[in-house]
Structure 1
Amino acid sequence: MGVKILADSASDLPLEFFEQNDVTLFPLKVHIDGKEYEDLRTIQPQEVYDKIRSGNLPKTSQASPAGFKEAFTEMAVNKEQGIYIAFSSQLSGTYQTAVMISEQVKEEYPDFDLSIIDTKCASLGCGLVVMEAVKAAQAGKSKEEIVNDAVFMAQHMEHLFSVDDLDHLAKGGRVSRASAFLGGLLNIKPLLNVEDGKLVPLEKIRGRKKLLRRIIELVHERGTSLDSQMVAISHADDETTALEMKELIAKEFGTPEIFISPIGAAIGSHTGPGTISIFFLNELP
């Protein structure tokens, strides 16, 4: 029996990926107008962006403990080995809840064999780790090999992203209000990255063209062997910029595979529309 891969919706992979590769999905929750939705399953990103543009800011919560309990118990009963590749513990309580539920299941089923990886990654930064783990599992690699590869990849994952309005992140507690100050004025585009699982503002750049040029410069500085790895781009209702970024990356680095996917409803609730993100490795195995 192969190794089962599990992931949450904050990996921002399409629903089809989970279905086609038999990856267990744990949706984060999105709350709008007093109703609770499951990211990727019962709400789409566009609905979130439309609400934000109309001044109605959604809230989010972690994946369901009951969902973890059901999936983990089923694995334990079936004696399946599994690896859950989780969204950063610094941005959600989902990882901690999964660990707690896993320990509960292990009390009842001592042979339960699940590894839970805190990637300290977000969006397709986490998604790239999931994709690679799925490939490794399908190739018949051992659980230990897949875990080691996933941990290495997560530790060397770079995140560069820009939001139209830092205020969304500040209101959700993802960056400080001081960092958000003046972000939306004078066509200033804030550029951020992820350090130890947390969102950290890097610099503020005036104008979209300068922003894209600066992102390319930073990919040069931080990336390695861009012509030998998959790069991912996620966007919040801005496919035009995502495609432009894809063209720039392909031309500049000769990157053979560039994966584009929309930012999901959960993460999009905090970043707001207009966000553009790029993910790549700063070291290869």
Structure 2
Amino acid sequence: MIKLIIDSTCDLPETYIEENDIKVLPLKILLEDREYLDGETIDVDGVYAAMKNGTVPVTSQPAPDTIYNTFSQYAKKGFDFIYLAFSAAMSGTCQLAASILSEMKEKHPQTHMEVVDSKGGSLATGLILMETCEYIKTNHCKFEEALAYMKELIKSVEHIFTIADLNWLIKGGRISKAQGILGNILDLHPILDVEDGRMEVVEKIRGRKKTYTEVVNLVAERAGELKDKVIGISHADDEEAALELKKMIQERLGGTHFIIQKIGGVLGSHLGLGGVGIFFFNKNVAEISKMALYNCNDR
């Protein structure tokens, strides 16, 4: 049996996590000197409520004991497992887990186990895990095949974000006050994607409507045929924006399979209220599967 582990930045629906027995490792959120476990001792609405009251959250990686105990529990039971971690370029979580895994491999050499850098977060990571989970269930595959498939999915996933309120980037120290004030005066909305695990600004567009149009243009440029693909849309407490983008994508490109979720407390803390992300694969899963099997057999 292959167990899948993910962390609380994945934004997967709770029902999917429960139905597929996926273990979620909580990152930590600090609000006014009180520490919470993301998704366990505080939910996303609690984080957003604090942000609306002016609190700037501080986030950190899961407790080492949490990771160690999870890995140890599965290894002792003889379960192979893969932990799909939040981008190593944005968090120390992946590196911490990898160091714990090295120790675990020495204690349980017969167990297949791996930590994989998702090179992203939010529903991009969630979609990768979902597709891997379905692949395992459908194909009853070996550990190496599941791992190769997951790594091909990571190469093929797209992230497109837009940020609604630059004040949150100022509060979090991610842009200067002068840049933020000028951006707000000009009604600039940054569009970001993820390159090698880091968020990068692609464009800055004036006006919300023009920004959403450009987001859909980027989806059209990168996605190809959307009809049979799952499209993830995450929003930082702005469901109206998520639904508007869903409608625009459907009108322009088609597509019937959407997952709409709130951006979790950790990423929401960094992007700020009103941020929206679109996530999808730039190849169909059959093509990804074929490449994964080729790479696996070529070893």
Task: Name the counterpart of 2:9.
Answer: 10
Pair 1:119–1:179, CA change in 2 (3 A): farther
> In the TM superposition, what is the alpha-carbon distance from 1:70 to its structure 2 partner?
0.6
Conserved? CA contact 1:119–1:155, under 8 Å: no
Q: Does 1:245 align with 2:249?
A: no
Pair 1:45–1:148, CA change in 2 (3 A): same
Conserved? CA contact 2:250–2:256, under 8 Å: yes
Q: Does 1:23 align with 2:32?
A: no
Conserved? CA contact 1:183–1:190, under 8 Å: no
> In the TM superposition, what is the alpha-carbon distance from 1:198 to its structure 2 partner?
0.3
Q: Normalising by the residue count of structure 1, what TM-score does the alignment of the two structures yield?
A: 0.93
Q: Distance in 2 between matches of 1:176 and 1:144?
A: 42
Pair 1:101–1:166, CA change in 2 (3 A): farther
Q: Distance in 2 between matches of 1:170 and 1:92?
A: 20
Task: Name the counterpart of 1:114.
Answer: 113
Structure 1, unaligned runs of 5 or more: none
The worse-fitting range, judged by mean Cα deviation, of 103-112 and 260-269 is 103-112
Q: Distance in 2 between matches of 1:281 and 1:258?
A: 13
> In the TM superposition, what is the alpha-carbon distance from 1:251 to its structure 2 partner?
2.3
Conserved? CA contact 2:5–2:84, under 8 Å: yes
> In the TM superposition, what is the alpha-carbon distance from 1:169 to its structure 2 partner?
4.2
SS at match of 1:191: strand
Instruction: State the aligned residue count.
Output: 283
Pair 1:242–1:123, CA change in 2 (3 A): same
SS at match of 1:232: strand
Q: Does 1:69 align with 2:73?
A: no
Give the alignment of 1:173-192 within 5 angstroms. 175=174, 177=176, 181=180, 182-192=182-192
Question: Identity of aligned pairs, percent?
Answer: 38
Give the alignment of 1:46-195 within 5 angstroms. 46-139=45-138, 140-166=140-166, 168-169=168-169, 172=172, 175=174, 177=176, 181=180, 182-195=182-195
Conserved? CA contact 1:6–1:83, under 8 Å: yes
Task: Name the counterpart of 2:210.
Answer: 210
Task: Name the counterpart of 2:275.
Answer: 275
SS at match of 2:39: coil
The worse-fitting range, judged by mean Cα deviation, of 56-65 and 138-147 is 138-147
Q: Write the deviation string for residues 84-124 of structure 1: whole angstroms up to 9, x where unpaired.
A: 11111011111011101111122222223212110101111
Pair 1:51–1:76, CA change in 2 (3 A): same
Q: Write the deviation string for residues 155-201 of structure 1: whole angstroms up to 9, x where unpaired.
A: 1211111112345346556x554995433333211111111100101
Q: Which amino acid aligns with 2:279?
A: F
Pair 1:38–1:159, CA change in 2 (3 A): same
Q: Normalising by the residue count of structure 2, what TM-score does the alignment of the two structures yield?
A: 0.89
